[in-house]
Structure 1
Amino acid sequence: MMQFLGRLARDVEGNAMMLLGAALIPILAMIGGGLDVSVTYMTRNKLQNACDAGALAGRLAMIGEDWNSDVEAEANKFFDFNFPNGTNGVQNAKFVIEQDSDDAAQLVGSATASVPTTLMFIFGFDFIDIEVYCDAKRDMGHNDIMLVLDMTSSMLNPPAIGGAPKIDRLRNGVMGLYKALDDGGASRTRYGFAPFSQTVNVARQLSNNDIVREQYLLDVPDTCDPNYLYWYCPDVTMKEVGPRDSYWNNGQNGSATANAIIQGFRTSGDGCIEERPAYGNSYNDGEFYIGTKVTEDDINAAPRNAVDRNLQFGRYEPQRQEGYIFDACVSEAKQFAVYPGESDFSTAVGEVTERVTGGTYSDIGMLWGTRLSSRDGLFKTNNPKTYSNWPVNVHIIFFTDGLTFATGYHYSAYGVERFNNRVAGDGTVGDSTPDYEDITALHLERFSNICTLAKSMGFTVWVVALDTAYIPEHEACASSSAHFFESDGSDLEEKFTEIGQGIGNLRLTR
């Protein structure tokens, strides 16, 4: 017996099977645990990405700080798209998104899910629970937004779809921009306005030294019958019109001094201007060159003294000008300012859209929108590059309902182009008869060049085209195709809202 037991103790055959059986359980636990942890890790990443996407989409859909069921639905839609039911076997994913009770500009979210195990269920672990968190906030930053608004006569008409006039649709629609950017004062947003048609009403924004004292206007002899302005008239010349001969020397100023006349013109509310020569060119008794090219000096250069006519702007005086068939002066422009509430902003919009008249000279509108926005020009004291040590972002929104159309017989910011020919630039009054196609093409080229300049100055340019055929120059003016909007008039508020939602930086805060 003792010998048998000894042999049995020394017999090792079959031990490997027993050892493997004993080790199988921890090996399965290691392999199964590693596999299930790997799947859980990947699922958690997918869940986090979906939570982030939902929070960002929800915050982007908010208009200002307005949290509602539509915003919540948009957030859920993006979560479901990024984490569809059944992802890695998950059937019970849950996403919760809401407005932060301490910061209305922020959304806070969480997502939970249970990941089914593949091997760990052997050990009683059927699911591994995961949870992620996400926050999204929109940092508006500090923004200066210049609205360049087409106030030509066609804005009085309804769009092709009928109904309310286009001007009323604009007044209502632009409120979408304000609402979308209202963040309760967390950042500073200022608005400026540059209404335009044939010229711009900006004299109140200028100083006395910015206005020409002795300017030249057309002198059309009686031999050029006003009923035949469309015919060639070589006898037209220029005559000097000093302050004492100005329309504004009508006794209401209480003085006939040059400064009193200029001051009366500037503060009259009818301070539309004639554009000055291109930078580096001479006023030359009113026969000066403007051209299609525009430089930063054209935008920024200021007169050095009261008689610096090369850098001064003329008085738009249809009462003294001759040789034209149509004049128009729009409402006054406004420099950047903060409007604390919707009613304040609405009042300002009503003021700048009060006068709707004239033909479409898009280049003069874009030119003065850029001038009023420049950080280094005539209005630099009101246009700091930073606010509270943070940079100010500048946006120009160009709105129009049609193509530039310059007939040559309007009295515009460029004089009466049939005779003055300043943009074409031959510099001789009355010696040619450029047709309206030529003049329109020159102004459209000038508009495009101003858009390019504005973008090179660091401004973001948005374009809204209302009720008009597609015009390539309009889309090219915008900073990108995403900054270009077309509207038939029915969705104008949505377009402006979308622009407001596109301004500012959307970021994850967790």
Structure 2
Amino acid sequence: MRKLIGFCLRLKRSQEGAVAVLVAVAMVALTGIVGIAVDVGRAQLLQSKLSSALDAAGLAAASTVSTTNLSADVDKYLNVNFQNYMGSHITSSSVTVNSNNTVITLTASATLPTTFMRIFGHDAINVSALSEITRAVSGLELALVLDNTGSMEGSKLADLKTAAHDLVDILFGDGNAHDLWVGVVPFSQTVNIGASHAGWMDAAYTSSLNWGPASWMGCVDARENGGDVTDAPPSTQPLKAYYWPDDSNNDWIRSGGGYRTPLTTARGPNKYCPQEVLPMTSDRDAIDNAIDAMQAVGYTHINLGAVWGWRMLSPQWRGLWGGDMDANALPLDYNTPRMNKAVIIMTDGENTVSNNIHTAYWYPSDGKLGTTNTSQAKTQLDQRLSQVCTSMKSNNIIVYTIAFGSPGSTVQNLLRNCATQPDYYFDSPTGAELQAAFRAIGDSLSNLRISR
């Protein structure tokens, strides 16, 4: 019996030792499992933080994709948003852009020091993230109000055409733009609304003028009695034809009878009448063709270009412009949801008034600007531009302005105050800077979304 009891006691002690070993092994395993769970959870938090930081960096950098070093901007915004989260650090990042600058793909990797897993020889966990930003323009009515005066002749006009084409390329991208409508308003000392809009005119006045072998090309005088700063439709105040009479500054009728043909925009009743406006359209080729057709003639009345840009965007002119605008009931009402209205006003010089130049306000001596003094008349043009800009902004039209070729502080300040906000004004002394300005505006008007 004693032997049996002794055997049982020895067996009990042996079992207790085995259990202790098993418990010790289990504790090590449980600690490892908990440690792995903690580090995996931290890695998941890190991956989420890296993804959100990459999305934010992509949206911020892609808003200026046409004008900046995209990789440098992505790294800058990524580091600002990531901030070495939980002691981790970014190990790599990359940016690729498709040929149309419409899809930006971003990747990033980061490493996180482990806490418990280092016990098992794993000192760090690596995570990665991918983001895809898609740029598309949707819901935009845009009027390009572009200086076509004589001072733009040569390389300046060529630079303007290049910059405007770049803008069109940015806006239309790969052709998937929706509800994008662009019009072109060339201006000099008058604006050419197109002879097809004879119904807007005071027909009796037009027919009373001697056009010789030529005919009215479509340019119009400035409205009188304050009508030159409003978006009132022609039903409220018919327009009068722009007409430069035969005089010492424009000798087109021979003293013995007959005409000094050919009568063109260089001589005759249509002298210095610029290229016809293009009403808003979604036809990219038509827009590019209108830009290519621009010619440099005449003197500068920026306010007239601006007010006709406004009239192209004003719902009071719905059903009047024809073409795509009538087919799509454009312009839409102000503040229509998911539709923006914008105008870009670009000039290379100040408003000009001369006793030798007949404009949409006639000669200064005719007093149509409320004065016969040329300096005061110029001031009137400046003030009327400011009035038009204020009216457009009050109707939530986004106004961008560009001073090209260092035109002087007066017009630079005028355009700066005209713009919707300070960074919507661009000072562009050179052709390269003009191109950069148009690209920046294109970026500003592009909508961004995270597509992946």
SS where residue 463 of structure 1 aligns?
strand
> Which secondary structure does the structure 2 equivalent of 1:331 belong to?
coil
| Secondary structure class of the residue paired with 2:203 | coil
Aligned partner of 2:419 in structure 1 is 478
Give the equivalent residue in structure 1 for 2:234. Answer: 302
Partner of 1:459: 397
Q: 1:138 aligns with which of 112, 129, 135?
A: 135
- RMSD of aligned residue pairs (Cα, Å): 4.2
- Rounded to whole Å, the distance in 1 between the matches of 2:293 and 2:231 is 25
Task: Using the TM superposition, give the Cα deviation of residue 447 of structure 1 relative to its aligned residue in structure 2, in angstroms.
Answer: 0.5
Which residue of structure 1 lines up, in the alignment, with residue 310 of structure 2?
370
Aligned: 1:154 with 2:92: no
Query: Per-residue deviation at 1:207?
Result: 3.4
Alignment of 1:161-180 (within 5 A): 165-180=155-170
Q: Distance in 2 between matches of 1:136 and 1:42?
A: 22
Q: CA–CA distance in 2 between the matches of 1:251 and 1:135?
A: 61
Q: Is 1:348 aligned to residue 290 of structure 2?
A: yes
1:186 aligns with 2:132: no
Matching of residue 314 in structure 1 with residue 233 in structure 2:
no
1:384 aligns with 2:325: no
1:200 aligns with 2:191: yes
- TM-score, length of structure 1 as denominator length: 0.67
What does the per-residue CA deviation read over 1:241-294, in whole Å, with 9 as the maximum and x for residues that have no partner? x72x4223x477xxxxxxxxxxx53xxx3x2111223xxxxxxxxxxx2378x3
| Residue of structure 2 equivalent to 1:438 | 376
**Are 1:415 and 2:393 counterparts?**
no
Alpha-carbon distance, 1:444 to partner: 0.9
- Paired residue secondary structure (1:412): coil
C-alpha contact 1:179 1:497 (8 A) present in aligned 2:
no
Structure 1 residue 154: Cα displacement: 2.0
Whether the 8 Å contact between 2:64 and 2:440 is mirrored in structure 1 is: no
Say which SS state the counterpart of residue 452 (structure 1) adopts. Answer: helix
Q: Distance in 2 between matches of 1:90 and 1:276?
A: 67
Alpha-carbon distance in structure 2 between the residues aligned to 1:63 and 1:204? 38
| Alpha-carbon distance in structure 2 between the residues aligned to 1:503 and 1:190 | 12
Paired residues of 2:355 and 2:365 also in contact (CA < 8 A)? yes
Alpha-carbon contact 2:101-2:170 (below 8 Å) kept: no
Question: Match for 2:238: what amino acid?
Answer: Q
Report what 1:448 is aligned to. Answer: 386
Inter-partner Cα distance in structure 1 for 2:135 and 2:364: 48
Aligned mate of 2:91, from 90, 93, 113: 93
TM-score, length-normalised on structure 2?
A: 0.75
Secondary structure, in 3 states, of the residue corresponding to 1:404?
A: coil
Relative to structure 1, the CA distance from residue 196 to residue 385 in structure 2 (aligned partners, 3 Å threshold; closer, same or farther) is closer
Post-superposition CA distance 1:300-352 (Å, at most 9, x none): 3232xxxxxx61111122126899999632222221123445xx544321213
How far residue 42 of structure 1 moved from its aligned partner, in angstroms, is 5.4
Question: Which of residues 43, 47, 52 in structure 2 aligns to 1:49?
Answer: 52
Aligned counterpart, 1:121: 118
1:26, distance to aligned residue in structure 2 (A): 8.8
**Alpha-carbon shift at residue 140 of structure 1 (Å):** 0.9
1:124–1:105: structure 2 CA closer, same or farther, 3 Å change rule? same
Q: Tell me the secondary structure at the aligned position of residue 315 of structure 2.
A: coil
Which residue is equivalent to 2:263?
none
Q: Of the candidates 102, 107, 125, which is equivalent to residue 105 of structure 1?
A: 102
The C-alpha deviation readout for 1:147-166, integer Å capped at 9, x for no partner, is 1111222223xxxxxxx632
SS of residue paired to 1:302: coil
- d(CA) in 1 for partners of 2:114, 2:137: 44
* Structure 2 residue identity aligned to 1:202: I
For the 8 Å contact 1:291–1:446, the answer to whether it is kept is: no
Partner of 1:505: 447
How far apart, CA to CA, are the structure 2 residues paired with 1:336 and 1:291?
23
Q: Which residue of 2 aligns with 1:334?
A: 278
Over the matched positions of the two proteins, sequence identity in percent amounts to 24
- Aligned pair partner of 1:493 in 413, 417, 435: 435
**Partners in 2 of 1:213 and 1:320 — Cα distance?**
21
Task: Mark the CA change 1:300 to 1:321 in structure 2 (over 3 Å): closer, same or farther.
Answer: farther
- Which blocks of at least 5 consecutive residues in structure 1 are unaligned? 10-20, 157-163, 216-241, 253-263, 278-288, 304-309, 425-432
Which residues of structure 2 form unaligned runs of 5+? 13-23, 252-266
**Contact 2:152–2:296 (CA under 8 A) maintained in structure 1:** no
**What code does the residue aligned with 1:126 have?**
D
**Higher helix residue share:** 2
